[in-house]
Amino acid sequence: MKPLNITVEDHAVPQLITSALEAYEIGRTSPRKKEDKLETFGLLWGYMTPERGNRPPRIIVTTATVETSALVTKGSAKPDLGSLRMKMEFVTRYWPHLEVVGTFHSHPYDSLSEAREYKGWQASSPETVGPNQGDTVFWPWLHEELFLNNPYLGHLIISVTALQKTGWALPKAIEGDSGFELSLGKRKIWITSYASEAIEYEDGPGAQMMDALPVLDIPSMTHRAIEGNFAQASD
């Protein structure tokens, strides 16, 4: 079994990154309080090409939607399943060429040192957050709950932290080919990827995390990060 390949097309990228930045920098204001550095959660849409000969299985992300009804805090984002079902029904009815191919959510960190200390770009798991909790429990659960017809789902984490001063570093790969880190002005962003797959358990269909990390391809992103930093430097 080859690792899942995930290609994110350029026009899906602004939604992913700006929703993570909005939750981080703007947050949410209610009459009583303002909270920032929140998580966000959304769905990835597109299509899938199956494994064939030398070609690995691939999902191609063409669109992303954000769950504005998700219960979000600094350390969690819990989507409303009713909202996810509504979107699947609505989108596939009017855009029959799209299907859910995965999820994304963000990890906000107060500082670069905090993000580095906890390797905050990695998926949370029972080892890091407690029994039966974390991304690696939630993703297969969601896969099983709503997406059993999908052989694979890709899951992206957009980790965000503010920098003290404008960063200027070339984008670099992290966690093999499954993610990368970027400096975007006074922000550092990590995009990492994971995959879950449908499997047949003895007592029926279910889902599990795939052992191998995906190969993540966001062809436009590195080039945009470099151009954006040039643009800022010449302002």
Answer whether 206's CB lies under 8 Å from 199's CB: yes
Considering only the stretches 26-34, 129-137, 164-172, 190-198, report the one whose residues sit in contact with Zn ion under the rule CB under 5 A.
129-137
User: Minimal CB distance to Zn ion: which residue?
Assistant: 135
Sole window of 12-20, 58-66, 128-136, 199-207 interacting with Zn ion (rule: CB under 5 A): 128-136
Q: What residue spans of the chain are helical by DSSP H?
A: 13-25, 81-94, 112-117, 126-129, 135-146, 221-233
Interface positions, 67-126, toward Zn ion (CB under 5 A): 124
Q: How far apart are CA 31 and CA 39, in angstroms?
A: 20
Task: Give the footprint of Zn ion on residues 131-150 (CB under 5 A).
Answer: 135
Least Å from the CB of residue 233 to Zn ion:
33
To Zn ion, the closest distance from the beta carbon of 123 in angstroms equals 6
Considering beta carbons, is residue 41 or 229 the nearer one to Zn ion? Answer: 41
CB of 105 to Zn ion, least distance (A): 5
Q: How many residues interact with Zn ion (rule CB under 5 A)?
A: 2
- Considering beta carbons, is residue 19 or 124 the nearer one to Zn ion? 124
The one-character DSSP state at 127 is H
Q: What tokens appear for 73 in the block? A: 């805090």
Find the shortest distance in angstroms from Cβ 122 to Zn ion. 9
The DSSP line for 19-82 is HHHHHHHT-EE-SS-EE-S---EEEEEEEEE--BTTBPPEEEEEEEEE-TTSEE-SS-EE--HH
Residues near Zn ion (CB under 5 A) are 124, 135
